[in-house]
Structure 1
Amino acid sequence: MFDVSVYTATAITLIVIMDPPGQVPVFLSLVGRRDEAYRRRAAWQAPLVSLFVVSVFAVGGKAILGYLHIGIPALQGAGGLLLLLVALQLLTGTGEPPTGKATEDVNVAIVPLGTPLLAGPGTIAAVIVAVSEGHGDAGAYLAIAAAIVTAHAVVCLALLYSTTVVRVLKISGITLLAKIAGLLLAAIAVQLIATSVIGFAATG
C-alpha cells in the first residue's frame, strides 16, 4: 500500500534541499540572455536531467558508490569544486552567453543546473537514505518514487514561471543577478567543500 507518511517526508526533504526559489536567480543568470525558446527548454530539461540522475542513484546508489569506493563526502567535495568554478565564471565574467563553435553546444541545463545544482550531493544522499529505510516495502518505494517526481515537478514549475521575469529585469538586471548568483553559488560551494572535509575527518 502507498505510504503517505514516507511520501510526505521524502517530498518535503527533497524540495527543501533542491530549493526551487533559490534556483531561480542562478537559472536566470545562466539563461537570461538566451532567447525565450532556449530558456523554456532549459527550464524543463534541467529537472529532467536531475530526475534521471536521482532515479539512477535511488535504484542503485549504494551499489554504485560501493563499487567505486566513493563516499558522500567525496561527492560533496566534487560538487563543491564544480560549483565554485561556475561561481567564479559568473563573478568574473561579463554575463554574456558563451560564443563560438566550441561552446555552442554547451547545455547549461545539464551542467550545472541539472547536476550538481539540482541532483547534488544532498539530494543524492537523501534519496539513498530514504531507499535504505524502505526495507523492501513496495509501498514505501512507490511513495519515494512519487516524492522524487513531485519535487522535480515543483522545480520545473518554478523555473518555467521564472522565464517571464527576464522581461522585467532586462539586460542590466540579468548582469546584476549573475553577480549575486555567483556570490551565492560560491558560498554554497565553500560550504559543500567544508562539509566534505568534516566528513572525511569524521570517517578518518
Structure 2
Amino acid sequence: MEISSFVNVTLLATTFTTLFVIMDPPGTIPVFLALTSRYSTRQKQRAAVLATATSFGVIVLFAVLGRYILQFLQISMESLQLSGGVLLFIVAIQLLMSNEYEGHGEPADAGADGGSHRVNAALVPLGTPLLAGPGAIVAVMISVEQGSNTIPGWTAVLAAVILMHLVIWLTMRFSLTLSRLLGEGGIMILTKVAGLLLAAIATQMMMNGLFQFIAHSKEMGVI
C-alpha cells in the first residue's frame, strides 16, 4: 500500500515547516537559557521535558477540540484564518524589528519555593505561551481542517506536531552547546529569516481566508 493512504506527506511537511517557523526553536535558546540560568544541569533537563510536554498537550488539545470550540462560539474557519493571519503577521513584524531578546525576568533565587518556581517556569512561559502560543494553535487547527478529518490528514498533523516537539526538546536539551555554536549573531540571523518566512505564511493565510469568504458568500448569494 502507498504511504499516501496512511499519511498526507504534503500536509505533514507543510504543517511541520509552519510550526518550525512559528515556534522558532533557535529563538527559544536565549529565553530558555535566561529562565534556567540558575538551574543545575539536571533541573534544566527536567525543565526542557516539562516545557515540551506542556506545549504538546496544549496544541493537541486544540487540534482535537478546537473545531468544536469554534462551533460553540459560532466562529467560521474563514474568520479564524483571517484573524490567525493577522496575528502571525504581527509576530513576524516583531521578529523582524527586534534587535535583542527582551527577557521575561531573572529566575527567583532557589529557596524554599525554588522547586515550585522551576516547575512554573517550565510550564509558563516556556511551555505556553512561548511554545504553544496562539500562532501555533491556530496553525495546527487550520492544518486539521485542511486534512478534512481523514486518517491520512490526522496522521500527518500528529506526526508533524510530534516531530516539532522532538526538535524543540533537543534544542532546549542542548541549548548551551547550540548557543556556543550559533553565537548571538547566528541566533539573530535565524530569527530574522524566521520572521520573513512567517510574514509570507501569514499573508498567504489571510489571502486564503479572504478568498474562501468570497467564495462562500457567492454560494450563499450574499455577493
TM-score for the superposition, normalised by structure 1? 0.67
What do the CA deviations read for 1:113-165 (whole angstroms, capped 9, x no partner)? 213453343x3222113235x4xxxxx3xx55444433322222222222343
Q: 2:103 is aligned with what amino acid? A: P
Q: What is the rounded CA distance, in whole Å, between the counterparts of 2:153 and 2:210 in structure 1?
A: 31
Which residue is equivalent to 2:11? Answer: 13
Change (3 A) 1:29 1:184: farther
Which residue is equivalent to 1:51? Answer: 60
- Residue 99 of structure 1: SS of its match in structure 2? coil
Q: What is the rounded CA distance, in whole Å, between the counterparts of 1:116 and 1:174 in structure 2?
A: 28
Change (3 A) 1:176 1:146: same
> Does the 8 A contact of 1:80 with 1:193 survive in 2?
yes
In the TM superposition, residue 12 of structure 1 has moved relative to its aligned partner by: 5.3
Change (3 A) 1:62 1:163: closer
RMSD: 3.6
Which residue is equivalent to 2:142? Answer: 125
Q: What is the rounded CA distance, in whole Å, between the counterparts of 1:117 and 1:29 in structure 2?
A: 20
Q: 2:126 is aligned with what amino acid? A: V
Matched, 1:98 2:116: no
> Does the 8 A contact of 2:26 with 2:190 survive in 1?
yes
Change (3 A) 1:29 1:15: farther
Q: What is the rounded CA distance, in whole Å, between the counterparts of 2:183 and 2:157 in structure 1?
A: 31
Q: What is the rounded CA distance, in whole Å, between the counterparts of 1:16 and 1:196 in structure 2?
A: 13
> What is the number of residues matched between the two proteins?
185
In the TM superposition, residue 183 of structure 1 has moved relative to its aligned partner by: 0.7
Q: What is the rounded CA distance, in whole Å, between the counterparts of 1:195 and 1:96 in structure 2?
A: 29
Which residue is equivalent to 2:25? Answer: 24
Q: What is the rounded CA distance, in whole Å, between the counterparts of 1:179 and 1:188 in structure 2?
A: 14
Q: What is the rounded CA distance, in whole Å, between the counterparts of 1:150 and 1:77 in structure 2?
A: 27
Bigger mean CA offset, 17-26 vs 39-48: 17-26
Q: What is the rounded CA distance, in whole Å, between the counterparts of 1:171 and 1:33 in structure 2?
A: 15
Change (3 A) 1:84 1:112: farther
Q: 2:142 is aligned with what amino acid? A: A
In the TM superposition, residue 77 of structure 1 has moved relative to its aligned partner by: 1.6
Counterparts of 1:139-178 in structure 2, within 5 Å, are: 140=151, 144-170=153-179, 173=182, 175-178=184-187
Where structure 1 has 5 or more consecutive residues not aligned to the other structure, the ranges are 135-139
What do the CA deviations read for 1:53-90 (whole angstroms, capped 9, x no partner)? 22223x5376368x1242423321222223433x258x
Which residue is equivalent to 1:41? Answer: 50
Change (3 A) 1:158 1:119: same
Q: What is the rounded CA distance, in whole Å, between the counterparts of 2:51 and 2:159 in structure 1?
A: 18
Bigger mean CA offset, 76-85 vs 144-153: 144-153
Bigger mean CA offset, 69-78 vs 172-181: 172-181
> Does the 8 A contact of 2:11 with 2:153 survive in 1?
no
Which residue is equivalent to 1:113? Answer: 131
